Each structure stands twice: as C-alpha cells, then as structure tokens.
Amino acid sequence: MLSPKFLTDKVALVTGASRGLGQAIALALAQEGASIAAVARTEDALKDTLGAIRATGGTIEAFPLDVSNEIAVEAGVEKIAERFGHIDVLVNNAGVTRDGLLMRMKSDDWDTVIDTNLKGAFYFTRLIGRMMAKQRSGRIINISSVTGLVGNAGQANYAASKAGLIGFSKTVAREFASRNITCNVVCPGFIDTDMVKVLGEEFLAKVIERIPVGRLGKPDDIAAAVAFLASPAASYITGQILTVDGGMVM
C-alpha cells in the first residue's frame, strides 16, 4: 500500500511537460509531493502547468529548452541541479510526430522525430543517470507508444523512435540496477490528447472499435502508471514495459 505523498522531498524532471501526457504526469507527481522541474521548448508553453501545480501549493520551476539540442540539455540539467540539488525521477516524455508514408518521407522529418523522441531521452538519461548513480537511487521512466510495439503505417520515424526507446530502456535498466536505479517504459495507446484529436473523428471511431474497453485513454491513465513506477512500491520492477492501452495490443 502506498503512503500518501510518497514523493515528498523528491525532485522529478518531466520533459514535454507543457500539455497532454507531460502535463498530466507533472501534476500527478506533484500531487504526491514531488518538486517538478518542467521542461518544454518555451516558458510560455508551460504557463498552464506552472499555474495548475502552484495553485495546489506545489513546487514547480520551468526550464525552457530544445531536448534535441545536446548543448541546451547540458546547460538545462546544470541549472536544474543548481536549483534543486538532486533529481530523483526522470520522465522522458517529450515527443513529436512528422507523419508520412515511408516512400515520401523527407530525411528532415525522420531526423526531427528521432532527434527529439530518442536522442533527447539519451541526452537526459546520460546526464541524470550519472547524478543518480552518485546518490545511489533513482527512477527513470520513458514514455514510448504502442506504435513502438506494433508499428503503424505512415509513422516509420515515430515507430522507430518509440521502439528504440524500449531497447534503450532495457539496456539502461541493466547498466544501472546495481546502483538502485530502475528504468521502465510506459506505452500509451490512443489517449485523448491534442496529438490524437488531429486524426479526426472518423478515424478515431474505427480505433475505438479495436479497443476492448471501448474508449480512448485519458492522460490521467498514463500519469497514474508513471506515478506507480516512480513509487517505492515499484522498487523491484525494472526493464519492463507497461502498456496502458485499454487492451488494444494484448
């Protein structure tokens, strides 16, 4: 059984925290007592997340940067470490899509998705993993997708980035386990966010027909899974994939 506020005195860094899944994850971790280092491209984009957490008495600071830029990530992590002193939970959530059929996909669209979704996670994990290794504790949670498990026509770049996160996470789990650091993956299905809504009602109606529970997921469904993996109750879980998709790819 989890104790209330099980992340009190902990610091959680969440990338892509401005909206959708990232915002819900930041809110859920803050509700459990964590101080939040919120990362997004601009501070203005984080305005709603900052307001929501501060309205409940939580602690959150904005760190605007481009997660695909190695130098920017290094500078940002240094600022976060100076502000909070330690980082206990890392959630690599930032992601973009540049959809298109493979035969027509531009190299720039491939690079943009891989650089943001996969290399960004690498940059943060490499830096923060060192910090966690010194403190001999930490939780790393990477947000993949069911697309990384089964693929999806028109999303070769996105599927590759999300499948890459799974292999990356399993390796991180093996390398850091002896330091009391876990690394796990959450694979969302179709979640009711702005990124999914652009697919259109007709397409989503067909998607829902394939979901056994009969509905799209909610951002809070993903946030709850992340909070569990960040909790003491998950201390013996590492290198695992938690698929939160209403049973779609079981």
Residue 90 main-chain phi, psi, to 5 deg:
-120, 125
123 is catalytic: no
Q: How far apart are CA 109 and CA 18, in angstroms?
A: 22
Q: Strand 89-92: give its sheet, edge to edge.
A: 60-64, 35-40, 11-15, 89-92, 138-143, 181-188, 241-244
Tokens 């509905």 belong to: 215
Question: Closest Cα to residue 126, out of 171, 85, 166?
Answer: 171
Q: How far apart are CA 26 and CA 13, in angstroms?
A: 8
Catalytically annotated residue among 63, 84, 158, 176: 158
Active site amino acids: 158
